[in-house]
Amino acid sequence: MEAADDPNRPLSQLSIAAIVCAIGGVALPCCPVFPLLAVVLGFVARSRIRRGAEVRGAGLALAAMLLGGLGLLGQGLAFDWMAGRFQEQVESRSIDRVERLMAAATAQDLEATLEAWPRRHGGRADDIIAFAGEAQSRYGPFESISVSGWTYGGDFGEPDLLAAAVWRFRDRDLTGTFRMLLVPGTSLADPYPTPVPIELLIADEKLGDLRIGDDAESDIVDEALGPAGDAAEGDAVESAASALDLPG
């Protein structure tokens, strides 16, 4: 029997603390502190025991390290999945919101238009309906929108999302962008933010661009981003053009 395994020796307090933290990590899988502490304390405890400390518990320390390491790995994978899920939800909801807005505005449904782009976020039903009507008169009925790239921006208080888009109409497909304000979720059942339009752009070199966005919101965005904001929008249009294989 090795000295470190002598049952007459007291059990290392660090080993006990390490295994408690490891069990805490299993009980509270959303908290990375416990498995991290389990790994650190287990390593320190095992090192001291192997250097000849008058205590036992090297096996317990090793078990805590293994449990803690598995806990950290599991939490990392879970976090990666949740981040991907979050991004997927925000982006799919953004596309759905813009498509509902265009459908409502094309049908001249004031209530549905303002539901998709509320007044408190700069939505003006008459302007939105005029925007959709002009697009329809030029390119035929709106069909759908696809996105070739996303750029997350804004600040912590008002994050936004710029999409490089391909606007699909019956007679023609065009590149452009749309910008969404990400309004934080307030429900535990649905924690994802609600994307709300703040700017739509259909790029057309021949007939002229179609653009709509609340003046105040546009000024805020331009002031905050400056030339970098214009560059991001230009890059987004080029990205959409590349996806569609059209000139920018």
Question: Which of 11-20, 120-129, 237-246 shows the lowest per-residue confidence on average (mean pLDDT)?
Answer: 237-246
pLDDT at 243: 46
State the pLDDT at residue 191: 80
- Domains belonging to the chain, first-starting first, are 3-80 (no CATH), 107-244 (3.10.450)
Higher pLDDT, 54 or 220: 54
pLDDT number for residue 26: 85
- CA distances for 56 relative to 106, 166, 219, angstroms: 76, 67, 68
For the segment 22-43, what is each residue's pLDDT rounded down to a tens digit? 999 888 888 889 999 999 999 9
What's residue 5's pLDDT?
Answer: 58
Question: What pLDDT sits at residue 195?
Answer: 92
Predicted model pTM: 0.66
Of the chain, the percentage scoring pLDDT greater than 90 comes to 54
Q: Sorting pLDDT into bands at 50, 70 and 90, what band is 224?
A: very low
pLDDT at 239: 52
Q: Who contacts 29 (Cβ-Cβ below 8 Å, separation ≥6)?
A: 71, 74, 75, 78
pLDDT digits (tens, 9 = 90+) for 93-136: 999 999 999 999 999 999 999 999 988 888 888 999 999 999 99
What is d(CA 42, CA 14) in angstroms, rounded to the nearest whole number?
7
Phi-psi region of 179 (alpha: psi -120 to 50; beta: other; left: phi over 0): beta
Q: Which of 147-156, 222-231, 239-248 has the lowest mean pLDDT?
A: 222-231
Neighbours of 116 (CB within 10 A): 22
Above 60 in pLDDT, residue 217? no
CA distances for 64 relative to 103, 196, 205, angstroms = 58, 47, 65
- Cβ–Cβ contacts within 10 Å for residue 137, how many? 8
| Length in residues, the chain | 248
CA–CA separation, 128 and 98 (whole Å): 11
| Torsion, Cα of 33, 39, 44, 50 (10° steps) | 160
Question: What phi and psi, each to the nearest 5 degrees, are found at residue 145?
Answer: -140, 140
